[in-house]
């Protein structure tokens, strides 16, 4: 495994000029991260400082030990739904354990070099559950935006909407006014200044406006009385086997989400700076970051695409920028935490509504309806399950359905066809018999991977057309891959041919299938002479066998 990017960067001529660029970028991204970390924590059902802990600790470790030059780590919207569900059903200690377990899983994934494999999760799945998460986040903010009075906000989407409808007569006009003001500021601010984040301006402006005008909107202090202005000490959660078994599916989902989002972010940033990240080192760094985030009272973390892009746009080119970003968040927490209590909850809801809109990928969602029907089915299935059932189930079933559809697609593309007529009409192949290929010889070609999805098709095609045959030639030029089931089908065909005194010849066997046949002793079983370099050699050998069979019948057929 390669070294973390920080060590390779600092050892390769790091300049003072680049340090100042990284410092400036880290300062700006740190300012961006402060309101987002607070808002994401509150939306997840935990106190605001836990989001800041995550940005500080996990963000620092991701930059220190990760495999990307410019990745910015911290809490992201992808985890809001699953964190909220864990806390509501199992409590905060379960979340701590899930975060630590997810970190361990990520470390394992990096050590066994799964960094590249995780990229192969189909695009319709990532789009489906990302859009689903965005809708969940947006729906979670409606209650706070409107100031609805509810005893408890359900974690499930449909019951949550039902509670909103029941409580619609409890709208708090003060909350609604603050929410609308905040939303308008966030949307319009980029037209005024792109450097300073609109979310930070909205927090400052809405807090001041609420105080000056005496607007009685709910604040963070009303909901969370005991806010900490310093990092907590390490606290080991209570762990037993039953808890691990119970929380493991959620931890696995967090790990997969963290892996996907961090690697997606790294790929995007690679394109922006012309670099190449180390996927496995990035997973290890993400894993260590989540372990320590859990130990220090944080929540799950991953690479944040928007903050990473902001880092690049502002000149950040090394992990130093990410470390500076963590230091900025730490300084803000220590110095400004008392003022955090005055921030209106409706402002945080407005921030997260915009976050949800930006992560919804609605354009990508819409464009996928131009894709094949199978991809549309996976997209909708994953989206609906994410919103209506559970994120864990959505990912599991999405991957399973995609795998089955992929296998079906591959099996449909793998063909086993007779090419006897094609050979007879071809001017490029010299036939031993001028009148054409001997009627007792059958020639088949495999098109595509010879795997378990095509094995039955192969056996059926051969055996349905085996009558009046002395020789079967299988041309394997276009079969670059064979699995164990494909080999078994070939062995069954050989056994059938041997039983009926039919000569089996293979031509132009590709490297991987040939190595598999060698390992299983198949080459020695049928004889190396029956592996022919091309169809012409196979026809010469087949004609000789067919002629011998006519003089000295080995098989009665027809």
CA distance 3 to 66: 9
pLDDT tops 80 at residue 468: no
Cα torsion 261, 262, 263, 268: sign: positive
In a domain, 249, yes or no: no
| Window from 263-272, 282-291, 469-478 with minimum mean pLDDT | 263-272
Domains of the chain: total: 2
* 504 bridge partner residues: 472
pTM of the model: 0.74
Question: Do 456 and 315 share a structural domain?
Answer: no
Answer whether residue 445 is part of any domain.
Answer: yes
Separation of alpha carbons 465 and 88, rounded Å: 63
Question: Quick one: average pLDDT of 265-272?
Answer: 85
The answer to the question of residue 54 being in a domain is yes
Are 455 and 504 in a shared domain? Answer: yes
**Residue with the larger pLDDT of the pair 287 and 214:** 287
Same domain, 350 and 472: no
**pLDDT higher than 70, residue 381:** yes
Residues 43 and 175 in one domain: yes
- Same domain (yes/no): 398, 335: yes
467 and 352, same domain (yes or no): no
Asked whether residue 352 falls in the same domain as residue 435, the answer is no
Q: Does 369 share its domain with 439?
A: no
Rg (CA), the chain: 31
**DSSP H or E stretch at residue 265:** helix 241-273
75 — pLDDT class (breaks 50, 70, 90): very high
211-216 long-range contacts, Cβ below 8 Å, gap at least 24? Answer: 211/342, 215/174, 215/177, 215/178, 216/174
For the chain, what is the mean pLDDT?
A: 88
Q: How confident is the model at residue 373 (pLDDT cuts 50, 70, 90)?
A: confident
Looking at residue 557, what is its pLDDT? Answer: 42
CATH number of the domain residue 490 falls in:
3.30.750.24
Domain-ending residue, one of 359, 386, 405: 405
Q: Does residue 411 surpass a pLDDT of 80?
A: no
Residue 69 included in any domain: yes
Q: What's the pLDDT score for residue 428? A: 55
Whether residue 556 is predicted with pLDDT greater than 50 in this model: the reply is no
pLDDT band for position 434 (50/70/90)? low
Q: How many CB atoms lie within 10 A of CB 228?
A: 15
Which of 356, 379, 405 corresponds to the end of one domain? 405
Indicate if the pLDDT at residue 182 is higher than 90. Answer: yes
* 8 A C-beta contact, residue 6 and residue 64: yes
Q: Phi and psi at residue 481, in whole multiples of 5°?
A: -140, 140
Q: Which residue has the higher pLDDT, 79 or 226?
A: 79
For residues 156 and 31, the model is more confident at 31
**Percent of the chain residues topping a pLDDT of 90:** 49
**pLDDT bucket at 461, cuts 50 / 70 / 90:** confident
Q: Which range among 150-159, 412-421, 514-523 has the greatest average pLDDT?
A: 514-523
Listed residues 405, 433, 449: the one ending a domain? 405
pLDDT band at 263 (very low <50, low <70, confident <90, very high): confident
The arithmetic mean of pLDDT across residues 188-204, rounded, is 89
Same domain, 427 and 519: yes
Residues 435 and 360 in one domain: no
Residue 10 placed within a domain = no
Instruction: Indicate the pLDDT class of residue 558, thresholds 50, 70 and 90.
Output: very low
Asked if residue 557 belongs to a domain, the reply is no
| CA pseudo-torsion sign 295, 300, 302, 305 | negative
Q: Same structural domain for residues 192 and 293? A: yes
Same domain, 379 and 457: no
Least confident of 154-158, 177-181, 533-537: 154-158
CA distances from 322 to 100, 194, 310, 317, 358 (A): 22, 20, 11, 10, 22
Helix (H, G, I), strand (E, B) or coil at 287: helix
Q: Where is pLDDT greater, at 441 or 104?
A: 104
Q: Is residue 230 part of a domain?
A: no
CA 312 distance to own-chain centroid: 23
- Would you say residue 489 lies in a domain? yes
- Find the mean pLDDT for residues 196-203: 89
**Average pLDDT of the residues in 248-272:** 88
Range of the domain at 462: 415-551
Whether the per-residue pLDDT at 350 is higher than 80: the answer is yes
Opening angle at CA 85, ends 84 and 86, nearest 5: 95
Which pLDDT score is estimated for 143?
Answer: 92
Q: How far is CA 47 from CA 145, 192, 349, 418, 533, in A?
A: 18, 32, 14, 69, 71
């Amino acid at each position: 495994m390669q070294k973390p990017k920080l060590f390779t960067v600092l050892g390769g001529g790091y300049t003072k000029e680049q340090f100042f660029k990284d410092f400036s970028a880290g300062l700006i991204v740190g300012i961006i991260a402060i309101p987002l970390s607070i808002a994401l924590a509150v939306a997840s059902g935990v106190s605001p400082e836990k989001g800041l802990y995550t940005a500080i600790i996990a963000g620092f470790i991701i930059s220190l030990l990760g495999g990307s030059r410019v990745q910015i780590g911290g809490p992201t919207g992808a985890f809001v739904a699953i964190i909220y569900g864990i806390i509501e059903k199992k409590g905060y200690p379960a979340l701590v354990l899930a975060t630590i377990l997810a970190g361990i899983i990520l470390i394992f994934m990096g050590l066994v070099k799964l960094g590249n494999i995780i990229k192969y999760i189909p695009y319709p799945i990532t789009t489906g559950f990302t859009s689903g998460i965005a809708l969940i986040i947006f729906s979670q903010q409606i209650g706070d935006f409107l100031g609805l009075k509810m005893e408890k906000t359900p974690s499930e989407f449909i019951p949550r909407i039902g509670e909103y409808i029941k409580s619609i007569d409890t709208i708090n006009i003060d909350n609604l006014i603050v929410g609308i003001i905040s939303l308008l500021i966030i949307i319009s601010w980029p037209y005024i200044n792109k450097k300073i984040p609109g979310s930070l301006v909205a927090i400052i402006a809405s807090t001041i406006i609420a105080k000056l005008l005496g607007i009685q909107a709910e604040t963070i202090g009303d909901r969370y009385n005991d806010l900490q202005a310093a990092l907590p000490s390490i606290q080991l959660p209570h762990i037993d086997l039953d808890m691990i078994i119970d929380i493991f599916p959620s931890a696995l989902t967090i790990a997969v989400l963290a892996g996907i989002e961090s690697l997606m972010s790294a790929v995007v940033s690679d394109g922006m700076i012309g670099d190449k990240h180390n996927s496995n080192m990035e997973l290890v760094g993400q894993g260590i970051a989540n372990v320590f985030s859990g130990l220090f009272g944080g929540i799950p973390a991953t690479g944040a695409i928007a903050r990473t892009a902001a880092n690049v746009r502002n000149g950040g080119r090394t992990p130093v920028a990410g470390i500076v970003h963590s230091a900025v968040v730490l300084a803000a927490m220590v110095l400004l935490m008392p003022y955090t209590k005055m921030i209106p909850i409706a402002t945080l809801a407005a921030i997260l509504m915009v976050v949800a809109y930006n992560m919804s990928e609605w354009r990508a969602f819409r464009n996928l309806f131009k894709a094949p029907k199978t991809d549309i089915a996976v997209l909708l299935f994953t989206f609906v399950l994410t919103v209506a059932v559970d994120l864990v189930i959505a990912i599991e079933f999405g991957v399973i359905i995609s795998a089955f559809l992929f296998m079906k697609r591959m099996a449909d593309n793998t063909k086993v066809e007779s090419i006897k007529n094609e050979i007879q009409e071809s001017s490029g192949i010299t036939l031993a018999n001028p009148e054409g290929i001997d009627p007792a010889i059958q020639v088949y070609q495999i098109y595509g991977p010879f795997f378990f999805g095509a094995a039955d098709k192969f056996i059926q095609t051969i055996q349905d057309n085996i009558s009046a045959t002395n020789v079967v030639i299988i041309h394997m030029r276009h079969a670059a891959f064979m699995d164990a089931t494909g080999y078994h089908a070939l062995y069954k065909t050989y056994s059938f041919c041997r039983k009926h005194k039919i000569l089996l010849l293979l031509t132009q066997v590709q490297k991987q299938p040939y190595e598999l046949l060698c390992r299983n002793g198949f080459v020695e079983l049928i004889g190396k002479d029956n592996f022919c370099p091309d169809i012409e050699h196979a026809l010469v050998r087949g004609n000789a066998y067919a002629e011998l069979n006519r003089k000295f019948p080995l098989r009665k057929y027809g």
